[in-house]
Amino acid sequence: MLWITLSLLIGLLILVLFYARRRQKNEPPLDKGFLPWLGHALEFGKDAAKFLRRMKEKHGDIFTVRVAGKYVTVLLDPNSFDSVVNDTVCLDFSRIRNQLIKTVFGLQLPGTSPTSERKWMERHFQGLNLFKLSASMNVHLQNLLLSNNTNSSLSEWRQDGLFDLCYSLLFRAGYLTLFDSRDDPAAVYREFRKFDELLSKLARNLLKQEERKTARSCQERLWELLSPGWLSEELDSWQQSYYRFLQEERIDAEMQNRALLLQLWTTQCNAGPAAFWLLGYLLTHPEAMKAVKSEIRGLSTLQDTPLQHPSISLLEAHCTPVLDSVLSETLRLTAAVMISREVVQDKILHMADGQEYLLRRGDRVCLFPLLSPQMDPQIHQEPQIFKYNRFLNEDMTVKDHFYKNGKRLKYYTMPWGAGKNSCVGKEFAVAAIKQFVFLLLTHLDLELCDPEAKVPPVNSSRYGFGILQPDGDLQVRYRLRRTRHEM
């Protein structure tokens, strides 16, 4: 009996060794990690940036790692990104996305082609529709800020965490702009935040039993809050139009509701955290705050409108080079998306330095722009430091000449992705963040509770999920300003 068991075990070992993956000629360096099947999954899930930095030091700009049974080739040379972001034949965007939305949102959209969904989104977030949505966003932001602050007691100092202040205001205004239910945006926000906090663990299947229950109950509550029973009669609203799109794609009622939660997340999860970092950096860098305020004071909007109603128009939003540079610098430091594609056909990857690597069908390829270009010391001097004018030339034009190894870079920062699947909501998000910052700086006296405070560290479990979130918060005090002269 012992002999049979031993022979079986040896046979199994031989099989594993025989079929185990080895690096083939022309393939990137392979690092499987010690744990069978899991590979580097634990280190990756804990702090992906730290892990990938370690791998880059060990292997260079391209390597393949094993993560939970998958082989992922990580490419960290921005001069070679085009061969990934523009390849829709050998590389596929939608399979990984579909898996993610099934795991996180319990959503399956059979029959819906990714191109038709993207086209639908583009129609609604560009041109005249973008203009209408941004105008509506501006009105909701003003109403929320001023309705909370109209009576005299609210002209007194209040204290809050800056992250919650930014996320809550932008989320509620965004929700009122796009979704029909007007009943209780604050309740939707509270439920969404609970869900959002569990999201990275949910996506990586790392939830404990209790957390799994919480995530499930948040999902159910949000499905209920977003469901058609709550819809208004407004026929040309964004939500109604999205419903019609899903119906035309023959998506059943249950999946329609789940799709709404996905849309809530896609449209609302990044702008609030981005506004937090932007204001956090301004409050902790007085020279940057001074430059932004001086630029805002010069805008024509402020010249002839009463304090209660100044708003930044789309046109003016394009004439704020200092604020634009501050936003780019904020996103350089905090946009941590992972651009992942599935290799659906063997592919030769041509690197900018002339090297060629074979990518195997069934593997994944991943760019992590936060590490390079965004935090690459060869591209950006002192990359850890916030420099408000990093993206500004002396003549106040946009600085877009950045180099690595003497070669000018097309991708020197990449918060919105690139190529065929780059962000559809970029203009909407930029307008919303700028309107929000403008509104807060013109309407509020806003200051740090502790003048020596620094921006908090990032929550390292969120690398890969868009804009980072802080580990902790920055306490601020604020009150409604009576005149704008002190700004």
Binding site for ligand HEM (CB under 6 A): 114, 118, 121, 125, 266-267, 270-271, 274, 335, 337, 339, 415-417, 421-425, 428-429, 466-467
By beta-carbon proximity to ligand HEM, the closer residue of 308 and 422 is: 422
Question: Shortest gap between Cβ of 210 and ligand HEM (angstroms)?
Answer: 31
> Binding site membership: which residues?
109, 270, 364, 423
Of 63 and 120, which has the nearer Cβ to ligand HEM? Answer: 120
Structure-token match 């992922």, residue found: 72
Q: Where does residue 344 rank: exposed (0-12), middle (13-18), buried (19+ CB within 10 A)? A: middle
What pairing do the DSSP bridges indicate for beta strands 30-31 and 62-67? parallel
Q: Which residues are annotated as a binding site for substrate?
A: 109, 270, 364
Instruction: Give the pair of three-digit tokens for residue 465.
Output: 């999920």
423 vs 474, beta carbon nearer ligand HEM: 423
Nearer to ligand HEM, 255 or 274 (CB): 274
Closer CB to ligand HEM, residue 20 or residue 89?
A: 89
Verify cis geometry, omega within 30 degrees of 0, for the bond prior to 470.
Answer: no
Q: Looking at beta carbons, which residue is closest to ligand HEM?
A: 425
Query: 297: Cβ–Cβ under 8 A, 6 or more apart, which residues?
Result: 487
Least Å distance between CB 357 and ligand HEM?
Answer: 21
Which strands form 158-161's sheet, in the order they lie side by side? 158-161, 475-480, 444-448
d(CA 123, CA 133): 12
Least distance CB 73 / ligand HEM (angstroms): 15
Phi, psi torsion values for 403, nearest 5 degrees = -130, 150
Q: Which of 363, 341, 347 is nearest to 67 (CA)?
A: 363
Q: What is the residue-wise DSSP string for 415-457? A: TT--GGG--TTHHHHHHHHHHHHHHHHHHEEEEESSTT--PPP
- Smallest distance, ligand HEM to C-beta of residue 94, A: 8
**Cβ distance to ligand HEM smaller for residue 198 or 271:** 271
d(CA 213, CA 218): 9
Cα(387)–Cα(443) distance, integer angstroms:
25
- Calculate the CA 414 to chain-centre distance: 11
Counts of helices then strands in the chain (DSSP H, E): 16, 13
- Which of 166, 291 has the CB closer to ligand HEM? 166
Please say which residue, 214 or 237, places its beta carbon nearer to ligand HEM. 237
* Smallest distance, ligand HEM to C-beta of residue 23, A: 27
Residue 221's φ and ψ, nearest 5 degrees, are -65, -40
CB of 233 to ligand HEM, least distance (A): 24
DSSP state of 351: P
The DSSP 8-state label assigned to residue 399 in this structure reads P
Burial of 238 from C-beta contacts in 10 A (0-12 / 13-18 / 19+): buried
Q: Angle at which helices 426-443 and 286-297 pack, to 10 degrees? A: 90
Taking the least distance from each CB to ligand HEM, the nearer of 32 and 172 is 172
Q: Are 461 and 330 in contact (CB under 8 A)?
A: no
Nearest distance from C-beta of residue 482 to ligand HEM, angstroms: 32
Dist. CA 114–CA 99, nearest whole Å: 13
Which is nearer to ligand HEM, 414 or 480 (by Cβ)? 414
CB of 154 to ligand HEM, least distance (A): 29
Binding residues for heme: 423
Residues 6 or more apart whose Cβ sits within 8 Å of residue 81: 75, 367, 410, 411, 414, 418
Cβ neighbours of residue 8 closer than 8 Å, sequence gap 6 or more:
none
Q: How far is the CB of 93 from ligand HEM (least distance, A)?
A: 6
CB of 163 to ligand HEM, least distance (A): 15
